[in-house]
Every structure is written in structure tokens, then in C-alpha cells.
Structure 1
Amino acid sequence: MSKILEMIEKRNKAWEGAKAFLESKRDKDGLISEEDAKAYDEMEAKVKNYSIEIERLQKMDAIEDELSKPINSAIVSKPIAGQVNEPEKKGRASDEYRKDMLKAIRSNFKQVTNLLQEGVDTDGGYLVPEEYDKRLIDVLTENNIMRSLGTKITTSGLHRITVTATKPAALWVEEGGKIPFDDATFGQITIDAFKLAVGVKITNELLYDSMFPLESYIIEQFGKAMGNAEEDAFLNGDGKKKPLGIFHKDGGAMSDVTTAGVAISSDDIISLVYALGRPYRQKAKFIMNDQTIAIIRKLKDGNGNYMWQPSIKEGEPDRLLGYPVFTSAYAPLVEAGKPAIAFGDFSYYNIADRGTRSMQELTELYAETDTTGFIAKERVDGKLILPEAVHLLTVKAK
């Protein structure tokens, strides 16, 4: 037996043993002690470690196979120095712009080159270099599940999306009979761009310290703050000077599934899944709060099996009835009369970034405290363009 197959067999046995241990330790209320929970967590961690080791062995095999391939022809020519076909970066994409921006930041924007003048924002400040902008988007995505699940578009103005309102229907007709024609109608959804801003203050001592990673610090702080504000709006926003959220009662997802009782049951989850149209279920996912997950993990199906399926591979989401589960601190808590879980194809949630982000420096405002302020701004909007693509589970009112 190969090493990989042996590890797979060990992982399977470990997982079965973990499940059996969990079942054997439950009391009459279906709960386990803190000590048993710790033991189970260790078993689950061991299963994940097996998965990591299996993946490592598979990569090693792939490398061995690649190295064992014969070389068909020798390399007889040397690469010509400077022979690179990459286009020259200009403007905000250039290395010069990035370096000049960092120099300007450290000098309280007293050293502003002519190159930076190309990136002056109409609202004040300087446009973020393209490399900075990309890294800021990376941070936003890492701290914002909706940016990874939704569809991102970039626009220079109002963005209109055409959506079919009615569709033609096929009918059976007699031979030689008149073929009916239906008029397909279309509607338009307009996506705007609302301003989101965040500011940080940095002591001038750090600002002038060349050893301090100022660039990374500012990007990380701005990215986390903007990512949190965006995710909250993408889930709960009312559309007034901010995006329209998935969970909002007007313009959000379809709220047509209500729990049978005041608590969420396994039957309620099944009803939610099949309330969603079959085409949308192919890419469907769950979004819920951590506290809701704590409730869901205790639910079983009609055969006594847990509906929750923990991920056995690092980096992959847990699953519920076979569908990935994403958690957000901004998803609603379980409250009577309010939606608690969203399920659907979130690619129909469109996120529109207008233009690029800009940065502005404030020196005089905080001069008394020997600090300098920095402001980052962006314009963004978000909207679910097809409500039927996402359904909500609402907890029954008491």
C-alpha cells in the first residue's frame, strides 16, 4: 500500500472514531462536557492534520514525477539581458509613482513630485498608486466575505444593469395554426456609488522612522476598517447613502421561508434549501452569524445524523446539507420575527467600485499632539440584482 493510501485510510478511521466518540459522550440533552469537547477537538484537529499531510505527499509525488521526465533538448543559448516583453508601467502603475507617494507620506507631503500631480483627486488628496490599490483590495477581500462571493465591477459613473421582467413561453399549436408571440419586457437596476472614508493618526516619530513599515501599516488599517464597513452594508444596508444589503426587508433577498416554531429546526433548513430555485442551488452557499452556527451544529436529520459537515481540509468552508457555510459577525442574530440565515447564489450581488481609492494627509489638524492624520476614501455600491437568487430564513414571531 502506498504512503498516500495509508494516510487516507488512517484519516478515515480517525474521522469515524471522532464521530463515534462524540455520540457516545452526549448526555440526555444531547450535550457533551467541556473535557469531552476538548478531546473531540483534538480528534478533529488530527483529521485535518492527516489531510494536510496527504496533500503534502501528493505534491511531493507530483514533483518527483516532473523531475523524472527526460529532457528532450538541451538549452544551448543564453537569455539576452533586458529582453523582457512586459509593457512599461506608466502613471500610477509605475514604480516611480509608488516610491514618490511613500516619500510624500514620510515628509508630510512636503516633497511632492510632478509625477504625483498626475494623481490629484477631485475631492482633495492624491490617488492611491495602482500597486497600493490592488493590495488594499486584497485586504478588503480578506476581511469581507461578500467581496469574495459577489460579482465585482468597476465603473466611472452610474451603472445600469438590464434584468428580464417577463420571458416568452412555448405553447403547443395545431399544424398550420397561428403561432403566438409574447413581448419580452426588461427592467433596469441602477447601481450608484456612495462615499466611504476612514482615517488614522500616526505619530510623527513613527512617520519619520524609515525602519517602520509605514506603507503596510496604513494599507492594513484602512483595508480592515473599510472591509468591515462594507460587509456590514452589503448584508444590512438600507440603500440610503450606503449599499442595499442582502438581509434588508426592502430590496434585499426573498424572505419567504419562516420557521415552524420559535427555534430553528432541521426541517426549516431543508425548507430553505428547496425554496431556492434549482438553477441557483448549483452555486448556493449559506451566510449566518457564529451564534447561529452554534445552534445549527446540534441539528440532526431524520436518520439521526448531524446535518453539519466540518471541513476536513484547511482553507475550505464547513458544509450544511452539502453546501458551503460562510460566517459573518454582521449577519443577524437569531431573533423572533427577523431573518437569520441567507441561502443562495451570491454572485447575483453586484459590488460596484467607482474609480479608485484616494489618500489625503492632515498635518495642521493634529499638530498639537505631534501626529499626522491620513484619510482614505472610496466610492462603492452594492445591490442584489435578482432577489430570487437568494432566500432568507425568518424566525417565527412569538
Structure 2
Amino acid sequence: MATSALGTPEITQETVDQLITVPLQKASVFLNAGVRIIDTNGGNPVRVPMLTSMTAPSWHGENEQIDEVDPTFDEIVLLPHSMKSVKTLTRYSNELARQAVVPVGSALQQRIVADVAGKLDDAFIAGAVSPDRTTPTGLLNYSGVQKIDAVGEIGLDALHDAEALALGAEVDPSSLKWLMHSRDFVAIRKLKDTNGRYQVQPDPTEAGAYRLLGHPVLVTNRVPVVDGASSIVLWDPSKVAVARDLNPTVTVLDQLYGDYDQQAVRVVARYDAAPLNPEAVVLLNGVTQP
């Protein structure tokens, strides 16, 4: 454990990785989906260049001049200076720290990881568009994505339509994954063919894993249900970039609440996310129950 200039103990980065960063990435459905995570130092904005036009290669013979092409570039800016951080401060008494049967640090780690992961998933999945870029925009609100609106009662045809849009955009089908609310997942699991056979089967190679049309299914109740309607996402997580301002910072405040004979743990994490290829995200909106 290191000590800052103000005498405040700060847990070393190696310990932070073990206690917070790695468990957080596993606990977060979004971060664990296979998104491209970019670490940055100093909290500076991340600029990701994008080629927006074709390079137009053509056939040429021997000693024939090759056509020149001026490609058009665009960029995605992640972690602008206006982006806020996820912060949490947890206080506990010194008596609890001394008398607890279960180590307080272990219990705090589990609780902090769960809470921060939930907060990040709320933003990464359904975060509203922030005009001044203070919070991440959610997957359901990305601009330029492919959409099928007013789906109604979920059925296999709508799922095939979503896959058709992804294939039409030349998205690698082996990288596609479903993201949906548990109620929609259960409804789809109940779908049967004309012979009464269930259409969704568990993945025999992984415990608790399911596939739908050959694609892995990510289930999370962070997908909002509004007026009985929700959304189902078919996406390629590798086409979404997540910028991480270093790693979560954990600070033990053992003197600040000394007049209460308490300690506190403060965690600060700063993230942002954006699609590298919006067409690799297909939304089924207005999904209702049969």
C-alpha cells in the first residue's frame, strides 16, 4: 500500500487489478462481452481514426500506372474532458473491521464490484444521449445502427430478420452475440416448432450458456422494459470500443472519519464507449410478450 502526499493510503495498482479491475470486467455483462477495451493514461481523450470511403483497388497490367485514391477519414472521440466518473464512497466502523467473521475487505470488494458493474452496464446498455458528453451513450441509443421497430410479440422470424440485416452489412456471423432481457430470453426459450420441439438449446460445451441461431446469448435485466416493450440486440462486440481512463482507483480513507471511529473506501472509475461500426449493431425494438 502506498501513501499519497496528503497521507492518504492508496492501494497499489497490482492490488487494484486483483480486487476491482479484473472482477469488474467479469461482472459487467457489457465489458465481458468482448468489446475492444482501450486503456489511456492521464485521462486524455482517445481519438480513434476511421476510414469512411473505399480504397477502390483495381486491376492493372505490367508497367501500367496504378490509380491513386484519396481516402476519407473520420474519427471517434472517446473520454472527452467533459466525461464524468463513476464514484462510490463506503464507510464502515473500526469495530466492524475488527469483529467481523468475514473479512470486511472481501465483502466490500464484492459489493463495490457489483455496484460499479451495474452502474456501468446501465450506462453502456441504455444510457441516454448526453448533448454535452458527460455520460456514455448506451448501446440502445447509438446513432447509425440498424433497426427493426414495432416488433411486437417476439418470434423466430424477427430474429432471422435481425440476422439478415447483420449479414447484409457484411458483419462476421461468428462474432455476433444476442443481448436481451431475461423475460424475452425465457419467452424465446418457450418457442417450439410444429413438432413441439424447443428451438433454443443449451450450449453443451459451457455451463449455463445458450445459443440462438448459432450465436451466444447474453442475458441482463439492465435492458429496460418500458410500457411492456423492450429491445433485443444482435451485435458484434468487437466493433464497439471502450475507453478506460487507467483503471479504477481505490483509496482507503482511514483518518477522514476519525471522529466517528470509522474508515472508508473510495472507488473512482472513468469509462466511455462508442461503436466503431454502427451497422454491426442491430436493434429489435418494441418487443412484447406472447
Judge same fold: TM > 0.5, yes or no. Answer: yes
Contact 2:146 2:165 in 1 (8 A): no
Q: Does 1:378 align with 2:266?
A: no
* Letter paired with 1:388: E
- 1:232 maps to 122
For residue 202 of structure 2, what is the aligned residue in structure 1? 310
User: Structure 2 CA distance, aligned partners of 1:396 and 1:202?
Assistant: 44
Moved more, 164-173 or 148-157: 164-173
| Secondary structure, aligned partner of 1:319 | strand
The alignment of Structure 1 onto Structure 2 pairs a total of residues equal to 275
Q: 1:293 to 1:141 in 2, by over 3 A?
A: same
2-side partners of 1:381 and 1:348: how far apart? 14
Deviations 1:276-316 (A, max 9, x none): 03433221100000011122112245776533122334435
Shift of the 365–181 alpha-carbon distance from structure 1 to 2, 3 Å rule, reads same
Change in 2 beyond 3 A, CA 1:252/1:231? farther
Which of the numbers 95, 107, 114 marks the counterpart of 1:205? 95
CA-to-partner distance for each residue in 1:249-275, whole Å, 9 max, x for gaps?
xx3571422355x21221111000111
Q: Give yes or no for contact 1:169–1:182 (8 Å, CA) kept in 2.
A: yes
1:219-265 per-residue CA deviation (whole Å, 9 max, x = no partner) reads: 222211111111111111235422221111xx3571422355x2122
Q: State the structure with more CA Rg.
A: 1
The answer to whether the aligner puts 1:351 opposite 2:242 as a matched pair is: yes
Taking only aligned residues, the RMSD between alpha carbons, in angstroms, comes to 3.2
Matched, 1:254 2:145: yes
Q: Which runs of 4+ in 1 moved over 6 A?
A: 172-179
CA shift for structure 1 position 188: 0.9
User: Which one-letter code corresponds to 2:12 in the other structure?
Assistant: P
The answer as to whether partners of 1:199 and 1:222 remain within 8 angstroms in 2 is: no
Equivalences for residues 302-341 of structure 1 within 5 A: 305-315=197-207, 317-333=209-225, 340-341=231-232
Q: Does 2:98 correspond to 1:215?
A: no
Instruction: Note closer, same or farther for the CA distance 1:376–1:257 as it changes in structure 2 (3 Å cut).
Output: same
Aligned pair in 2 of structure 1 residues 286, 372: CA closer, same or farther (>3 Å)? same
Q: Does the Cα contact within 8 Å between 2:232 and 2:287 map onto a contact in 1?
A: no
- Report deviation, 1:207: 2.4
Moved more, 352-361 or 279-288: 352-361
Give deviations 1:97-151, integer Å, cap 9, x for gaps.
3xxxxxxxxxxxxxxxxx523xx69xx9544312321121122123211111212
Distance in structure 2 (CA, Å) of the matches to 1:315 and 1:158: 39
- Identity in percent: 23
Unpaired runs of 5+ in structure 1?
1-96, 98-114
What does the per-residue CA deviation read over 1:331-360, in whole Å, with 9 as the maximum and x for residues that have no partner? 133757x66111111122222221231314
Q: Which residue identity lines up with residue 38 of structure 2 in the other structure?
A: I
AA aligned opposite 1:354: D
Structure 1 residues 287 and 125: alpha-carbon distance in aligned structure 2, compared to 1, 3 A threshold? farther
Q: Structure 2 unaligned segments of length 5 or more: list them.
A: none
- Is 1:128–2:11 an aligned residue pair? yes
Name the amino acid aligned to 1:148.
Answer: N
Higher relative contact order (CA 8 A, sep 6+): 2
Worse-superposed segment, 237-246 or 294-303: 294-303
Distance in 1 separating the partners of 2:178 and 2:265: 37
- The verdict on how the C-alpha distance between 1:335 and 1:324 changes in structure 2, with shifts beyond 3 A counting, is farther
Summarize the Cα distance change of 1:257–1:303 in structure 2 as closer, same or farther, 3 Å threshold: farther
What is the rounded CA distance, in whole Å, between the counterparts of 2:21 and 2:93 in structure 1?
26
Corresponding residue SS for 2:140: coil
| Residue aligned with 1:312, SS | coil
Amino acid in structure 2 at the alignment position of 1:130: Q
Question: What whole-Å deviation, never above 9, does each CA across 1:58-117 have from its counterpart, x for those lacking one?
Answer: xxxxxxxxxxxxxxxxxxxxxxxxxxxxxxxxxxxxxxx3xxxxxxxxxxxxxxxxx523
**1:161 and 2:48 correspond:** yes
Tell me the TM-score normalized by structure 1: 0.61
Q: Is the 8 A contact 1:199 1:374 kept in 2?
A: yes
The residue aligned with 1:36 is none
Other-structure match for 1:141:
25
